[in-house]
Every structure is written in structure tokens, then in C-alpha cells.
Amino acid sequence: MVIMEDKSYKKSLGLFELVSLGVGGTIGSGIFVVPGIAAGIAGPSSLIAWLVVAISASCVMFSLGWASSRYPSTGAFCSIFGKVFGRKTSAFLVLLYLVSSIFGIATIAAGIGQYIFFFGYSDILIIEILIIALFCLVNIRGISLSGTTENILTTLKTIPLVILALLLLPYIQKNNFFPFYPAAPTDFMKALIIVYWPFTGFEISAIPAGETKDNKIIFRSLIIVMSIVTFVYILLNVSLIGSVGSSVLAGSPAPLATASGLFIKDSEKLVAG
């Protein structure tokens, strides 16, 4: 009698793992750079752009959550989209996603480079190559180490952002919010497009639906992810614009580092690092 080895994926992902994956994938270097760019284009009204994008991303989240829970897959988006839209439409959607990912990765690299340069290092390319190599080694090592690393990085990214936003609250001045809408409608649309970048990434928590203990937690995880991300982004941008002003944010290559200088001497380099 031949016993067939079960080669299926172990359904070990729970709510915490999916939330960590989604938050970690969404909150990246974009939030360290985009607030300054958006504030420079639309001024204080860029806060509305963050809210509008959060609502729009939530709609995408619900659609993706429905498709992922209905057609769970351990593959990529092509597996999910193929069952919902068909092969041709799925291929087109995946192509668009790949193009957006390329631009997104380029934005992330540029953001990291700005903070590295702000910290005083000029060999930006070498440092970024070393970072990429490090994460490649982590992924090669295995899913266990990758998951642990993701959880650690998610915590290290999210909590400091919330702390920074809270520390900036006492420095908020009302005059920094006026004029609230100094931009033309076309400029506001530009800000909307740019703000979309920091919101990309939550969708990756829906990909490993076939590895979850219960498909019902996919919806809950996505809701929690979007709630956390929206709260952090809105709170942080209100604190940044209110404390240092849109013009200062727009003129800084590292807006979060610049804002941190309000309450701690030499903290700009600490945040940039």
C-alpha cells in the first residue's frame, strides 16, 4: 500500500498573521515621503485626499475580500481574477497591477534614498542594494523567518509613526490649516493620485486565502488593516500639516524627520535613520 504524501499548504495563517501582513505591506516608505509631496501640491486640503483615497481603497478591499474568500487560492492575483473575470480580463488586470507595482517599488526606493541621504550617507545605491540582498536572504531562509521579520518590521514602522503624530499634537497651530483649499481642482486630483501610493499593499493579505485557518477571517483582517492604516495616515498628516505647515513639508526631502525636530534636538537624523 502506497501512502501518498500530502503536499498541500498547511492552513496556519490566522487573523494576526493576515493583519500583520496587510499592515506591513501597506505602511512603507511612501508615508515617509508622500505627505510632503501632497501637502506641497494641495496644501491642507490634501487631508481630504487622504480620506477620499481611504474610502476608495476600502471599496477595493471589500471587492478583493469577497473574491478571495469565495475563490481561495495560494497563488497570486491571476488565480483569483481568473475565476471572477475570466482569463483575458484577468491578464489585463494583472498587467496593470505589475505596472503599478514597478512604479510603487521605484517610489519606495526613492523614498528610502531620500532618508538615507538626509541621514548623511551619499552611497545610496550601495545601501539600497544591501537592503534588497538582506530581504532576499530572509525570504530564501524560509516562511517562518519571513513571517517573524514581517511582524517585527510592522511593529517598528507603525508604533513610531503613531508616537510621532501624538508628540506633534501640542505643536499644532490653527493658522497652518488656512487657506485650507489653496489648490486648483487639477492640483487636488494630482494629490489624490499621489496619495494612492501609500495605500497600496493591503491587498497582499488576501492572496494566501488558501492557507488561512478560516476563510471568514479574510474580511475581518482586511477591515482591521484598512482601519489601522487610515487611522495612522490621517492622524499623522493632521499632526504634520498642523505643526510645521504645508510649505515646510513640501520643501523637505524627509518631512517626518523635519517635523520631529520640533520636540527633540537632533531628532531629525534619528527619525531619518
Q: What is the pLDDT of residue 5?
A: 43
Q: What is the pLDDT of residue 45?
A: 93
Q: What is the pLDDT of residue 2?
A: 43
Provide the residue type at 143 as one letter: I
Strand partners, 212: 13
Q: What are the pLDDT digits (tens) for 41-98?
A: 999 999 999 999 999 988 888 888 787 777 766 556 677 777 778 888 888 888 887 7
For a pLDDT cut of 70, what percent of the chain falls above it? Answer: 78
Stated as kind and residue range, the H or E segment containing 156 is helix 143-168
Cis, peptide link before residue 182, omega less than 30° from 0: no
* pLDDT confidence bin for 26, thresholds 50/70/90: confident
Q: What is the pLDDT of residue 66?
A: 80
Q: What are the pLDDT digits (tens) for 160-188?
A: 999 999 999 999 999 999 999 877 888 98
Indicate the DSSP class of residue 127: H
Q: What is the pLDDT of residue 272?
A: 47
Determine the topology of domain 15-272 in CATH: Amino acid/polyamine transporter I (1.20.1740)
Residue 101 reports pLDDT greater than 80: no
Backbone angles phi, psi at 122, to 5 degrees: -100, -25
Q: What is the pLDDT of residue 11?
A: 61
Residue 4 reports pLDDT greater than 70: no
Q: What is the pLDDT of residue 228?
A: 93
Stated as kind and residue range, the H or E segment containing 57 is helix 46-70
C-alpha 84/C-alpha 110 separation (Å) is 35
Q: What is the pLDDT of residue 62?
A: 81
State the residue for C-alpha cell 499592515: 23
Q: Which residue has the higher pLDDT, 69 or 254?
A: 254
Averaged pLDDT of the chain: 80
State the residue for C-alpha cell 492572496: 207
- Can you give the pTM of this predicted structure? 0.80
Q: What are the pLDDT digits (tens) for 182-207?
A: 778 889 898 998 898 888 877 776 66
C-alpha cell at 20: 500583520
Cα–Cα distances in Å, from 39 out to 70, 102, 145, 175, 176? 40, 24, 38, 15, 11
